[in-house]
Amino acid sequence: MKKTYLLEETLSMNFLIIAGIVTGLILVVFVIDKRQTKEPVRRKFPVLIWGRKTLVALGPLLRQYLFMSDLEETPYNRIVRNWIYKTANGQRNTIGFGSQYDLSITGSVVFLPATFTNKATQLGEEFGSTYRRIIGGRDDVMPIAMPHIVYISGMSYGALSERAVKSLNLGAKKAGIFHNTGEGGVANAHLQGAGLIFQIGTAKYGIRDENGKLDNALLKEVAKKEQIKMFEVKLAQGAKPGKGGMLLKEKITEEIAAIRKVPMGKDALSPPRHAEFDDVDGLFDFIEHVRKTTGKPAGIKMVIGNPAEIESIAKKLSENPDRGPDFITIDGGEGGSGAAPLVLASHAGLPLRQALAITNTTLQRYGVREYVTLFASGKIATPADVAIALALGADAVGIARGFLLSLGCIQSLDCHTGKCPTGITTPSKSAQKAIDVEAASNRVATYAKALIAETHMIAASCGYKDPTELSPNDVMVQVEPGRFDFLGNISAIKDYQKKRDEQAAS
């Protein structure tokens, strides 16, 4: 009996020791997870995150048994997300054992490397050193130099959290790239040092009077901020072309209400279109008004619906090149970071590649391409995406969701609910603590620099010194099993060009 008692006492003591060690280890892991700054979701869910990490690590070993693929997730598959995570954290982003992409499926894209490259493309050339794009010059407005081929696309303060916007702007400053404010106005979080593109939405947030109309005095006041380099009149965005936006009252704090010039306790609604104009003449008048009032370049952001609309803009430019937009941002109809109805995000507006090619071709045909800087925006996240947009005529590309992933987004698809687990799209101050601004800004900058460097690497592979030299003849797309065609010949573009040529001939 005594031996049994001693055994039970020993086992009990051993259990307490083991429990104490396990508890101590959990506490240590908890403290480490809370103090680290690289992963917002790890700060938000300390200890528990290691269950997710274990499953992710085991994924490659289990997929052949569980029939899962790294290419199946949308809108960004795991290969793209992992590349962004590793790149943003400064880790090695190379792969082994060959590409996981299936180049035999329709839509696959390949670049055509040059066997004999120019001396200018040899290793040692400083990436990005040759790129310069001058924007503006009309109405005696001082032109602005676009510093790099990428910038952070429009995402509004309020839709994004304070720490997220601070991190993006500080990261943009470190990388030397521009940052689009989105339509929600300028917050202190935007003023971390990066050049800003101020977006004017249909609700005129930040520059509106009590009736929601453009307030010229406020517009002038905003334009005095040296950090703001140019103004973008948003006609439509890819997430919801033809429909206005809404910021739920639950996400409107006193600060956001003051910045947007909207009342507390009500949803902030933006109409589908601008009240100030309803045709191309009116649009050009409005652009000219913004440019003269601010003293800075002004352009537009649009989604291509009927190609005749971009044709009417090009025609009007050809009649009077001294008027019209200094830049045009083409947003693809694939949907974006904004909350949107499924039917519009999925089925409204031309996809970016077709829209960009049509716009570039139309501007060239009317002889006005030199007067307009062309930006591309829409599901661009990797160097290949950037290079394809440049090959189709873009002078620079705006990226939104790619930069959210560099902040630590895990694609939980909760952006519109206010319950973002990483603190990026939530008004919750406690949830935002998951983001360490300094560390997150470093990831943003590292990702941006890698995009620039690797896009130049693609250009160098094709024999060019600068990626803006890429053309549709440097890219091929698999149009059907076993048959590739040049990027410029993909059907939507080719059919449009053929139709316009026939009309011109008749």
Q: What is the CATH number of the domain that holds 444?
A: 3.20.20.70
Look up residue 196 and give its amino acid. Answer: L
pTM above 0.85, yes or no: no
More confident position, 248 or 185: 185
- The answer to whether the CB of 328 falls within 8 A of the CB of 302 is yes
Q: Which residues pair with 110 in a beta bridge?
A: 476
Domain assignment of residue 88, yes or no: no
- The answer to whether the CB of 393 falls within 8 A of the CB of 360 is yes
> How does DSSP classify residue 154?
P
List the domain range (segments joined by +) for residue 424: 120-498
pLDDT attached to residue 347: 54
pLDDT attached to residue 123: 46
What's the mean pLDDT in 250-267?
86
Q: Label residue 124 by pLDDT band (50, 70, 90).
A: very low
Structural domains counted in the chain: 1
Taking the C-alpha atoms of residue 192 and residue 506, their distance in angstroms, rounded to an integer, is 56
Domain assignment of residue 266, yes or no: yes
- The answer to whether the CB of 184 falls within 8 A of the CB of 259 is yes
- The answer to whether the CB of 423 falls within 8 A of the CB of 434 is yes
Is residue 204 classed as helix, strand or coil in its secondary structure? Answer: coil
The region of weakest confidence among 68-77, 98-107, 212-221 is 68-77
pLDDT attached to residue 16: 76
Domain assignment of residue 38, yes or no: no
Give Cα separations from 334 to 237, 361, 396 (angstroms): 10, 21, 19
pLDDT attached to residue 380: 92
The two tokens of residue 416 are 């519109």
> How does DSSP classify residue 349?
S
Taking the C-alpha atoms of residue 327 and residue 332, their distance in angstroms, rounded to an integer, is 16
> How does DSSP classify residue 183?
T
127, pLDDT greater than 60? no
Domain assignment of residue 56, yes or no: no
Between the two ends of the chain, the Cα-to-Cα distance in Å is: 110
Domain assignment of residue 407, yes or no: yes
Q: Which residues of 45-57 are buried (b: 16+ CB within 10 A; e: fewer)?
A: bbbebeeeeeeee
Query: At a CB cut-off of 8 Å and minimum separation 6, what does 460 contact?
Result: 117, 121, 122, 125
| Residue among 204, 170, 197, 114 nearest 462 (CA) | 114
Q: Is the dihedral of CA 448, 402, 362, 488 positive or negative?
A: positive
Domain assignment of residue 29, yes or no: no
pLDDT attached to residue 308: 87
Query: At a CB cut-off of 8 Å and minimum separation 6, what does 353 contact?
Result: 332, 388, 389, 392, 487, 490
E strands along 119-227, which residues? 133-135, 144-146, 150-152, 179-180, 196-200
Query: Strand 144-146 vs strand 133-135: parallel, antiparallel, or unpaired?
Result: antiparallel
Query: Strand 396-399 vs strand 150-152: parallel, antiparallel, or unpaired?
Result: parallel
Q: Label residue 505 by pLDDT band (50, 70, 90).
A: low
The region of weakest confidence among 29-33, 256-260, 261-265, 441-445 is 29-33
Taking the C-alpha atoms of residue 267 and residue 260, their distance in angstroms, rounded to an integer, is 12
SS3 content of the chain, % helix, strand, coil (to 5): 45, 10, 40
- The answer to whether the CB of 478 falls within 8 A of the CB of 103 is yes
More confident position, 209 or 130: 209
284, pLDDT greater than 50? yes
Q: Which secondary structure element, helix H or strand E, spans residue 138, and what is its range?
A: none
64, pLDDT greater than 60? no
pLDDT attached to residue 105: 79
Taking the C-alpha atoms of residue 295 and residue 478, their distance in angstroms, rounded to an integer, is 47
Domain assignment of residue 349, yes or no: yes
Backbone φ and ψ of 403, nearest 5° = -70, -30
What's the mean pLDDT in 166-185?
96
Domain assignment of residue 148, yes or no: yes
